[in-house]
Structures are given as C-alpha cells and as structure tokens.
C-alpha cells in the first residue's frame, strides 16, 4: 500500500508560515507607531518601585555588551525597565527610584531605574 499525502497539507503549512512572516513584517511597525503616538507629549515622572526580577549578565562569559534585565512592580503591576543605572546596587524586593511616562491610553513605560540614595541623616 502506498503512502499518499495530500498536496493541500503542504500548501496549508506554507500558507501558515507566510502568514506568520507577514504578521511580523507588517504588524510590528504598526504597533511601534501606535506606542509612539500614545507616548507623544507624555511628561517624565519620578517614583519609587520594588525590584521583582534582577538579571545581571556575567561579563566574563558574555560576548559583547550585556545589558542587565530588570523588572519592577509599580502601582500593582510589573513592568520591564528600559535602562538601568548601577544595576549591581539594586536588590530583589528592594526599592528603586524610577523614571516613567504615562501615555494617553494609560499605558505606563518605565524609562530608567536606579537604587535609592542612602540618606545619611536617617541611618545610624
């Protein structure tokens, strides 16, 4: 008995692959421009958030520039941080000073995070 395959299976798989590629090519610029429009005119604000995830790459075992990955909890939600200054000084479940923007739709984007400065008058 011969193993007969339908040509429609190949065409279907090819069509799905082409559809996924088209979504990445055309949908990505549309999403990026909508975020730019949403954040247009948003003022930079400062606040305090809690560090939830802190991933500092090992500089000895990483090729090229390695950027630390930080996720903070702010106003009950978790957000990735775009830029992190002195990530080595941040601690998980510790406070961090953040700069963020709120878009017209209410979307929050965290621009930067850094450790809170230690106030010498409150420490003993």
Tens digits of residue pLDDT in 17-47: 999 998 888 888 877 787 788 778 888 899 9
User: Which of these, 116, 123, 109, lies nearest to 36 by C-alpha position?
Assistant: 109
Please write the tens of the pLDDT for every residue from 33-85. Answer: 877 887 788 888 999 999 999 888 877 776 767 788 899 999 999 999 988 88
Give me the residue label for tokens 């090819």.
14
Per-residue pLDDT tens digits for 86-114: 888 888 998 999 999 998 888 898 999 99
* Nearest partner of 72 among 89, 39, 97, 105, judged by Cα: 97
How far is Cα 106 from Cα 101, in angstroms, rounded to an integer? 9
Q: Which pTM value belongs to this model?
A: 0.66
Q: What is the CATH number of domain 45-115?
A: 2.40.50
Vertex 61: Cα angle to 55 and 67 (nearest 5): 40
Helix (H, G, I), strand (E, B), or coil: what is residue 65? coil
């Amino acid at each position: 008995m011969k193993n007969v395959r339908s040509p429609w299976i190949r065409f279907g798989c090819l069509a799905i692959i082409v559809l996924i590629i088209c979504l990445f090519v055309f949908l990505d610029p549309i999403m990026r421009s909508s975020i730019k429009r949403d954040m247009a005119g948003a003022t930079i604000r400062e606040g305090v958030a809690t560090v939830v995830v802190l991933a500092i790459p090992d500089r000895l075992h990483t090729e090229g520039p390695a950027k630390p990955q930080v996720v903070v909890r702010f106003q009950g939600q978790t957000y990735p941080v775009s830029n992190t200054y002195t990530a080595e000084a941040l601690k998980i479940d510790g406070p961090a000073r953040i700069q963020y923007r709120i878009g017209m739709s209410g979307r929050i984007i965290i621009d930067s995070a850094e450790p809170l400065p230690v106030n010498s008058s409150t420490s003993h």
